[in-house]
Structure 1
Amino acid sequence: MDAVYTQLLAEVGEFRQRYPDVRFVDLISLDIPGHFYGKRYPIEMLEKVAAGSALKLPQNCVLLGTQGGLFKIGDYCFNDGDPDAQRRLVPGTLKLVSWEQQPLGQMLITSDGTQKPIEFEPREVLAQVLGRLGRKGIFPVVAFELEFYLFDSHLRDGLPQFARDPLTGDPDDQPNMHIERLTRFAPVLDEMVETARAQGIDATVITAELGPGQFEINFGHLDDGLRAADWAALFCRSTRGVALKHNYRASFMAKPYLQHPGSGMHVHVSLYDKAGNNLLAADGQKALRHAVAGCLDVLPHCMPIFAPNHNATRRLSATVNVASRASWGFEDRDACLRVPESDAKNLRIEHRLAGADANPYLVLAAILIGLEQGLEQKREPIAPLNDDRSSGVDFPLEMLEAVRSMQNHAPVREGLGAEFVDVYCENKRQDHLAFMNEISAREYRWFL
């Protein structure tokens, strides 16, 4: 542990020397809905934490609902005295926040790796899955791809407005994938990438997507699953901040427009042994088929993770490059699981189901337990879409049904942890009921 403190102290000291004007640092962590919570620390106090002083935050911060409120979940929140829980600094994540008006730093914190980790913290859930795979000699390499929309910074009657073309001033209301859109929106997109890279994120390819003001940015492949999920989470935070600087609103909402494509979180995963051999390529790619079968078995029981809110399920009824059933295929973007063309060394599965607003730690954890189950059970999958366009397994599209399916599924409870599954499902159930507990203007139009 002394070596960790030495590393952290050196990191803080180097940061202070490089950015002497920074007086405060945001210590942040992702909650269950995928929002950052934390505290703003004076830089002097951060140095003390780096040297080993206690860092504690309320345990129940992890349980916040989408709107920030707390729900009664078992004995948590209202019957437990709201206890503090230990957190630790994540080495290598102290970076400058360049999108705020005043100089500021930020650094990830987590309960994983502490003496008593929070079982339902998303990063801890993923850490447990990765640790178990590592003990079995399975080492994932992961890359995230995130789609998002740019809107005008001002809403109209609560509704998003098309982003305005910075060259013409006109709304970008024509869906297309033309490369010229990257040029027109280059000032904000370039700063998004530069800011991501300054956060330590290997942001690579930028694509203009089909929706108006919709873009996708890819990240490099990593042999550290926790860090890959960190990148996805931090990218969302920095992208929103940079967008506001340019008078836009960036959103990872899964389906902001009914008439235009939704935004997804695509995750590329390959599996290797200690010697660097691609496990999916073993036995003439039989292992690939087994892994696919495991993912398809688990997928219907992890829908509250892949589509974590009412809006996210809307995206799954689309007709373009989004699957409405659990399916797979070679070079087929209509499938949940796409196997891109590659050589044996880089053979991988692209999981395309999750919405862009899903929690990246939990999405990756859910994918990995499916791969793990498939490699162990060695079952053949259903036919790929390349052979049968009707191939697929139904999954629940209504939140309460999805929650029941997840909470009662033994392999998911074993793979992700029973305590996490119970807490997460109750959080989603309560969040959904709170969302539905409002009479909308449409109800009055239909039924008054």
Structure 2
Amino acid sequence: MKSHASTLLAEVRTFRQNHPDVRYVDLIALDIPGHFYGKRYPIEMLEKVAAGSPLKLPQNAVLLGVQGGLFKIGDYCFNDGDPDANRRLVPGTLKPVSWESQPLGQMLITSDGTEAPIEFEPREVLAKVLERLQHKGIHPVVAFELEFYLFDKKLDNGLPQFARDLLSDDADDQPNLHIERLSRFSEVLDDMAQTAKDQGIDITVITAEIGPGQFEINFGHLDDGMRAADWAALFCRSTRGVALKHGYRASFMAKPYLQYPGSGMHVHVSLYDGAGNNLLAAHQQQPLRHAVAGCLELLPHCMPIFSPNHNAFRRLGGTVNAATRASWGFEDRDACVRIPESDPRNLRIEHRLASADANPYLVLAAILVGLEHGLEARREPIAPLNEDRSSGSDFPLEMLDAVRAMQHHAVLRDKLGAEFVEVYCENKRQDHLAFQQEIHAREYRWFL
């Protein structure tokens, strides 16, 4: 503990030396819906925390709904006295915030690794999965890809407007994958990429996607799954901030336009043993087939994680490369689980189903549990789409059905934690019901 504290203390003191104008640091963590919560600490107090002073926040901050409200979930929130829970600083995450109007820092915090971690905290859920895999000699290598839209900063009666660049007063009319769109929005995209790099995130490829003002940014592969999920979470925060600075809104909303493709979170995962051998490539790639079968078997029961809100279910089907059935294929972007072409050393799956606004810690945890389950069960998968275009199994396409499919599933309760599954499912059910408690104008047009 002393060496850990000295490392953190050195990190804080180095930061203060390099950024003497920073007076406050945001200590942040991701809640169940995928929003950051936390506290803004004076830099002097942060140094005390790094030296060992306690850091406590309300336990139930993790349980907040999409709109920040509290739901009655078991005894949480209303019958537990709203207790504090210990958090710790995550080493290596203290970075400057460049998109605010005044100098600021930020640092990740978590209950993972404390004496009493919060069982339903997303980072803790992933930590348990990674720890179990490590004990089994399985070491994931992970890379995220995130799609997002740029909108005009001003909404039109609450509706998003197309992003406009300096060359045009009209909507972004460049074709998908057109390199000129990257040039026309280069100022904001370059700032997003550099800001992410300043946060320690390895940004690689930037692509203009199919939708107007839609882009995708890829991250480097990491042999630390937790850090890979940290990158995805932090990238969303910095990208929104940079966009506002440039007069845009950046949104990871799954389906902002019905007529254009939604935004997804694609996750590449390969598995290695302690000697660095690719486990999926052994025995003529038979473990790969088993892992795919496990992912597809659990996928219908993980839909509240992959599609965490009403809008995310709108993204599934009806547009390019968005499946409505659990499927797989080699070099096939219509599949939920795609096997990119690669040499045996880099053989991996690309899980393509999750929406861009899903919680990256939980998405990765669910994918890894699917792979783990498949390697243990050793079942053959259904036919790939390359052999049968109709191959696939159904999964829920509505939140309440999805929650019912997840809540009592034995494998998920065992491998993700029964307490987490209960809390998460009830959070999603309550959020969905709260969303329904508003009559929209279309209902009056149709039924008045």
Which interval holds the TM-score relative to the shorter structure? over 0.9
Structure 1 residues without counterparts, runs of 5 or longer = none
Matches within 5 A, 1:156-305: 156-305=156-305
Letter paired with 2:278: N
Partner residue in 2 for 1:382? 382
Partner residue in 1 for 2:327? 327
Partner residue in 1 for 2:439? 439
Partner residue in 2 for 1:427? 427
d(CA) in 1 for partners of 2:168, 2:157: 25
Partner residue in 1 for 2:93? 93
Deviation at 1:75, TM superposition (A): 0.1
| Contact kept in structure 1, 2:260 and 2:319, CA below 8 Å | no
Partner residue in 1 for 2:344? 344
| Contact kept in structure 2, 1:96 and 1:198, CA below 8 Å | yes
SS in 2 for 1:298: helix
The runs of 4+ residues in structure 1 deviating greater than 4 Å are none
Partner residue in 2 for 1:152? 152
SS in 1 for 2:5: helix
Deviation at 1:39, TM superposition (A): 0.1
Deviation at 1:16, TM superposition (A): 0.2
d(CA) in 2 for partners of 1:267, 1:334: 15
**Per-residue deviation, residues 388-442 of structure 1 (Å, max 9, x unmatched):** 0000010001101100100011011111000000000000000000001111101
Deviation at 1:160, TM superposition (A): 0.1
| Contact kept in structure 1, 2:174 and 2:180, CA below 8 Å | no
d(CA) in 2 for partners of 1:241, 1:166: 20
Letter paired with 2:47: E
The aligned length equals: 448
Partner residue in 1 for 2:132? 132
d(CA) in 2 for partners of 1:386, 1:96: 47
Partner residue in 2 for 1:359? 359
Indicate the larger mover: 172-181 or 115-124: 172-181
SS in 2 for 1:25: strand
**Per-residue deviation, residues 240-262 of structure 1 (Å, max 9, x unmatched):** 00000110000000000000000
d(CA) in 2 for partners of 1:166, 1:151: 14
Letter paired with 2:166: P
**Per-residue deviation, residues 179-228 of structure 1 (Å, max 9, x unmatched):** 11000000000000000000000011000000000000000000001000
Q: CA RMSD in A?
A: 0.7
Partner residue in 2 for 1:59? 59
d(CA) in 1 for partners of 2:174, 2:93: 39
**Per-residue deviation, residues 350-398 of structure 1 (Å, max 9, x unmatched):** 0000000000000000000000000011110000000000000100011
Deviation at 1:322, TM superposition (A): 1.0
d(CA) in 2 for partners of 1:403, 1:355: 17
Partner residue in 1 for 2:310? 310
d(CA) in 1 for partners of 2:80, 2:131: 29
Letter paired with 2:308: P
d(CA) in 1 for partners of 2:447, 2:188: 44
Please give the TM-score of this superposition, normalised by the length of structure 2.
0.99
Deviation at 1:175, TM superposition (A): 4.7
d(CA) in 2 for partners of 1:412, 1:166: 50
Letter paired with 1:123: R
Letter paired with 1:317: G
| Contact kept in structure 1, 2:174 and 2:181, CA below 8 Å | no
In the alignment, structure 1 residue 416 sits paired with structure 2 residue 416:
yes
d(CA) in 1 for partners of 2:408, 2:327: 22
Letter paired with 1:188: V
d(CA) in 2 for partners of 1:372, 1:384: 20
d(CA) in 2 for partners of 1:406, 1:68: 23
d(CA) in 1 for partners of 2:437, 2:173: 33
Deviation at 1:37, TM superposition (A): 0.1
Please give the TM-score of this superposition, normalised by the length of structure 1.
0.99
d(CA) in 2 for partners of 1:401, 1:249: 32
Deviation at 1:173, TM superposition (A): 4.3
Letter paired with 1:43: I
Letter paired with 2:156: R
SS in 2 for 1:422: helix
| Contact kept in structure 1, 2:26 and 2:39, CA below 8 Å | yes
d(CA) in 2 for partners of 1:359, 1:328: 23
d(CA) in 1 for partners of 2:299, 2:166: 41
**Per-residue deviation, residues 148-197 of structure 1 (Å, max 9, x unmatched):** 00000000010000000223343214552201100000000000000000
In the alignment, structure 1 residue 118 sits paired with structure 2 residue 113:
no
**Per-residue deviation, residues 8-52 of structure 1 (Å, max 9, x unmatched):** 011000000000000000000000000000000000000000000
Partner residue in 2 for 1:40? 40
| Contact kept in structure 1, 2:164 and 2:171, CA below 8 Å | yes
d(CA) in 1 for partners of 2:385, 2:119: 38
d(CA) in 1 for partners of 2:118, 2:53: 19
| Contact kept in structure 1, 2:50 and 2:89, CA below 8 Å | yes
| Contact kept in structure 1, 2:329 and 2:384, CA below 8 Å | yes
| Contact kept in structure 2, 1:162 and 1:173, CA below 8 Å | no
SS in 2 for 1:176: coil
